Each structure stands twice: as structure tokens, then as C-alpha cells.
């Protein structure tokens, strides 16, 4: 449902504020509420559908013959921690075309949630766990995001997090190193190998950015704040220490920096600082310091992969928490494939434990939940008003309650046959303590048609009772 704080749009209009006839789809199905943000890869607006659902609509101007790579990447992704592409379409412009990407809308960014204050350990765990899940998924697909920062991480009130803005994303697929040239990723979250100009990077550049985001949540502000490429590398070295020649070779791989340049860069200037001094709010949280130390290292191959980071002791207490995003443990097969066998076993055990805890808590605290009956209790039906559908299990009805359907239940009162002279009420009847206060013909429930909150799959309809 629309958020109360959002004013209803006054009229339909296209993304650029014009009313060109080529924008018929936008005019018909979406109307602009306000601009959410602008960047080098397009403009994002909050829009409302005809049914009153808010969506994020991103428009990207393309030249003739150009394709929207972001739409192509998003179509191939399906993960609870990555923003979903609902649809995309293009419209003609004088210079080429304009791509419209309709995505799910989340009202906040992690940047606004941090708000220049250190976050609680639990919030750091919840948000970073979801971020690492998204990166484990992308690592399997060999897709590098290349612009991970708090501004591109969307969150909602349930603390669900979704990675967004794939305008810089690229599918690696063993491409030549020269294909990965260019400046991308905001400087403060940029991996040191990219600062040095490495062209043969991999998904580990995203892992570094995620480590910077985690540190920012723990500090309330970014850690490495350089004003240029050279100063950025110096800012990193002030905390991690000056990189050694081995570190530089690992970051550059087939880079073009010569031996003397490597020696100059490796010239000792800084010693590494203890992470406890850099993260005073987490000084006594050894697991938090350990996970940061395992990710923010110079050598890309030595950084903790996101799939393995999910089972770090820093996250071990999440399974016992009751207020978590609903799908935080709904692991995709792709992200699990990036994990070792022991890690996969641990993650699946967390999922099972959480589902058991959730179902127990829900049934114990929510009296509105329907009673689940099995075929074993059919013979215990004690009154005519009890009805047990022929199904192996009950599921809440997920359809539109306003639609008529032959697969719903409705009940009406029908009196029994008038020929029966036998009273249906005894003196100790539950409806009254006096038989004369109750009419002889007591209405009982009869099944008339189908319209309840019970839905059954086709495989469940062949059960004999």
C-alpha cells in the first residue's frame, strides 16, 4: 500500500517531464511522484502504478545502437538480497532511445540508516549478512558490481537489505584484461588494486567494498577518505600499513608498474594499526574485529570470500534472533555453490533451526493461526460444524478475496429435515443449560460452495478420507 507520507501525484507524465506520444506505456502505467536521485548512469524516480503500488523507475539515455547493460544483468538475477527488475522497456528519442527500468522500491538507503553514527552489533550483523549473501550469489555468476557503497544498498523497516544500482556491473566470463579498463567504483570504497590501475581484477574488488561498508556501519563514517587516487592509497596504508612488494605484485598481477616503482611504493612509511583502535565502538567485540581483518587485506586472493564469511562467528548469534527479515536464511542454490561443503551444511542447519523456531513461536503466540489437522484426527470430528478438507496440509489462501472462485469455501445455515421429531438438544447441551430455551430445530453448518482461506494444490486433491 502507498506510504502515508507520500503525496499522491497530480497527473501522469513521462520520466523527462514531457508528454511525448512515444511514452505511451509510461503515461498509461506509471506516474511520477518525485526524483530519488541522479547519477552518471541515469535518473531514478519514485513512480506509482495504476494500482497504487510504488516502484523505482530508472531512466537511462542511450545512443543509437546502444543497449542497456544494467537491464540485461538484472534480468539474469533473482535473489532476495538484490533489487528485482519488474520490467523494462525503451522509448525513442532524437539521439537514440531511453531505457526505462522498473524496479521494486525500498524507502531507505543504508547511508541514511547509518546517519553518521555507529550501528548496534546486531544491525551490523543483519545488514552485512545480507550483503555477503548477495555477493556470494554474484561470485558464482561471475558478475562484479563495481560500485558497492551504502548509498547503493536499499533497506526497509524490517531491516531487509537489497543491493541496487547495477549501472557499473559487468559479467567477467574470462574477458580480456583490456575489456575491464575504465574508472568505476566510488573512491572511498574502491579496492586498492583498482586504485593502482589493475586491469585483471575479479569479484574480490566487491568484497573489499563490502568490508569498507561494514567498517562504516561500525564507525558511523567511512574509514579510507582520500581526495585522489594517490591520497586514497596513502589513506589505506595509514590503517593497514604500507603494502609490501609481495602485496603489490598480488594486487597488480600483470600490471605495468616497473620494479623501481614497486620498490618505491613498498618503501616503509606506515605500520598497521590495531583494528580495536580504528573501531572503538567494537573494541571488545573480537569476532567483529576478526571479520574486518579477514576482508580488508591487500592481496585479493587472501580476502575472505563472502560465502565463507557467512559462517563467521560474527554471525553465529543471528539464528537465535526473533526479529529478522523474513527471507534472511532463504539461501539460493547459486550462493551455496560458492561455499564449501561444511559451510553449506552450517547454513542449511541455520535455515532449518530458524524455521523450526519461527513456526513454534508463531503457533504459540498467534491465536489467529488456523488449526492444522491431519487425516489421523478425522474420526474425532465431534459435531456437524467441523469440516476437514481432503488435503495433506493446510495453506493460507493466497488469492484475491474479492474474486469469485470455485475453489473457495462458504457456509450457510440450513435446518434439518422437518420430519425428524427427535430433539437435537439435550438438557446439558453446550448452547444452554435449559432445554426449553433452545429451539428444537437447531441450524447446523452445511457445505454449500468453496470460499475459505484454505488452498490446495493439484497433488493434494486425490486424498481419500
- For 136-156, b/e burial (b = at least 16 CB within 10 A) is bbbbbbebbbbbbbbbbbbbe
Contact 218, 119 (CB under 8 A): yes
Average pLDDT, the chain: 77
Work out the angle at residue 2's Cα, subtended by the Cα atoms of residues 119 and 49, and round it to the nearest 5 degrees: 120
Each residue's pLDDT tens digit, 386-441: 333 333 333 344 444 444 444 443 444 445 454 444 444 444 444 444 444 444 44
What pLDDT score was predicted for residue 358? 59
- The residue count for the chain: 465
Give the Cβ contact number of residue 368 at 10 Å.
Answer: 4
141 closest CA partner among 105, 106, 166: 166
298: which 3 cell numbers? 591487500
The position carrying cell 548509498 is 151
141 closest CA partner among 305, 333, 330, 334: 334
Domains of the chain: 21-104 (3.30.200.20), 108-361 (1.10.510.10), 380-457 (no CATH)
Distance CA 173, CA 142 (A): 7
- Give yes or no: 147 in active site: yes
131: which 3 cell numbers? 550483503
Contact 100, 90 (CB under 8 A): yes
Each residue's pLDDT tens digit, 112-151: 999 999 999 999 999 999 999 999 999 999 999 999 999 9
The more confident residue out of 375 and 197 is 197
Can you tell me whether residue 344 is helix, strand or coil? helix
DSSP state of 200: S
Residue tagged active-site, from 14, 69, 139, 147: 147
pTM as predicted = 0.72
Strand-strand pairing, 153-155 and 161-163: antiparallel
What pLDDT score was predicted for residue 104? 95
If pLDDT is split at 50, 70 and 90, which confidence band does 197 have? Answer: confident
Q: What are phi and psi of 88, to 5 degrees?
A: -145, 150
If pLDDT is split at 50, 70 and 90, which confidence band does 273 have? Answer: very high
What pLDDT score was predicted for residue 13? 38
Contact 232, 224 (CB under 8 A): yes
Strand-strand pairing, 108-109 and 96-104: unpaired
Bridge-partner residues for 30, per DSSP? 49
Distance CA 80, CA 330 (A): 8
Distance CA 326, CA 356 (A): 13
Q: Under 8 Å CB-to-CB from 196, ≥6 apart: which residues?
A: 233, 248, 251, 252, 255, 257
Give the H or E element holding residue 58: strand 54-63
The more confident residue out of 251 and 356 is 251
- Indicate whether 242 pLDDT > 80: yes
386: which 3 cell numbers? 467441523
What pLDDT score was predicted for residue 258? 64
Amino acid at each position: 500500500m502507498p506510504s502515508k507520507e507520500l503525496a499522491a501525484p497530480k497527473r501522469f507524465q513521462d520520466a523527462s517531464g514531457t508528454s511525448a506520444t512515444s511514452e505511451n506505456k509510461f503515461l498509461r502505467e506509471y506516474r511520477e511522484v518525485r526524483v530519488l536521485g541522479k547519477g552518471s548512469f541515469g535518473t531514478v524516480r519514485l513512480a506509482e502504478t495504476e494500482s497504487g503500488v510504488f516502484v523505482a523507475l530508472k531512466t537511462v539515455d542511450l545512443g543509437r545502437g546502444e543497449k542497456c547493460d544494467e537491464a540485461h544483468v538484472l534480468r539474469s538475477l533473482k535473489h532476495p538480497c538484490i533489487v528485482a527488475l519488474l520490467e523494462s522497456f525503451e522509448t525513442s528519442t532524437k539521439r537514440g532511445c531511453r531505457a526505462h527500468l522498473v524496479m521494486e522500491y525500498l524507502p531507505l538507503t543504508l547511508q541514511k540508516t547509518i546517519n553518521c553514527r555507529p550501528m548496534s552489533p546486531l544491525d551490523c550483523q543483519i545488514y552485512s549478512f545480507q550483503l555477503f549473501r548477495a555477493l556470494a550469489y554474484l561470485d558464482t555468476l561471475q558478475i562484479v558490481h563495481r560500485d558497492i557503497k551504502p548509498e547503493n544498498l536499499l533497506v526497509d523497516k524490517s531491516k531487509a537489505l537489497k543491493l541496487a544500482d547495477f549501472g557499473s556491473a559487468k559479467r567477467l566470463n574470462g574477458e580480456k584484461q583490456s575489456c575491464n579498463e575504465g574508472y568505476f567504483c566510488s573512491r572511498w570504497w574502491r579496492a586498492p588494486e583498482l586504485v593502482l590501475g589493475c586491469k585483471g581484477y575479479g569479484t574480490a574488488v566487491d568484497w573489499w567494498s563490502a568490508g569498507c561498508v561494514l567498517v562504516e556501519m561500525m564507525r558511523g563514517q567511512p574509514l579510507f577518505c582520500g581526495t585522489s587516487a594517490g591520497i586514497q592509497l596513502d589513506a589505506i596504508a595509514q590503517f593497514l600499513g604500507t603494502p609490501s612488494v609481495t602485496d603489490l605484485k598480488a594486487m597488480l598481477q600483470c600490471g605495468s608498474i616497473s620494479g623501481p616503482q614497486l620498490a618505491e611504493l613498498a618503501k616503509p612509511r606506515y605500520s598497521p594499526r590495531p583494528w580495536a583502535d580504528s573501531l572503538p565502538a567494537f573494541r571488545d567485540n573480537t569476532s567483529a574485529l576478526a571479520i574486518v581483518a579477514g576482508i580488508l587485506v591487500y592481496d585479493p586472493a587472501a580476502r575472505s570470500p563472502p560465502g565463507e564469511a557467512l559462517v563467521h562467528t560474527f554471525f553465529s548469534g543471528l539464528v537465535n534472533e526473533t526479529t529478522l527479515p523474513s527471507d534472511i536464511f532463504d539461501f539460493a542454490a547459486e550462493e551455496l555453490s560458492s561455499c564449501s561443503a561444511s559451510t553449506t551444511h552450517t547454513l542449511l542447519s541455520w535455515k532449518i533451526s530458524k524455521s523450526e523456531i519461527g513456526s513454534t513461536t508463531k503457533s504459540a503466540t498467534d491465536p489467529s493461526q488456523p488449526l492444522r489437522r491431519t487425516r489421523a484426527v478425522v474420526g474425532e470430528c465431534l459435531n456437524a460444524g467441523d469440516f476437514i478438507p481432503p488435503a495433506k496440509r493446510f495453506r493460507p489462501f493466497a488469492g484475491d478475496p474479492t474474486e469469485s472462485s470455485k475453489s473457495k469455501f462458504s457456509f450457510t445455515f440450513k435446518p434439518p429435515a422437518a420430519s425428524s421429531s427427535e430433539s437435537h438438544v439435550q438438557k446439558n447441551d453446550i448452547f444452554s443449560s435449559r432445554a426449553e430455551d433452545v429451539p428444537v430445530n437447531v441450524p447446523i453448518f452445511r457445505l454449500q460452495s468453496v470460499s475459505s482461506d484454505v488452498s490446495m494444490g493439484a497433488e493434494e486433491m486425490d486424498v481419500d478420507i
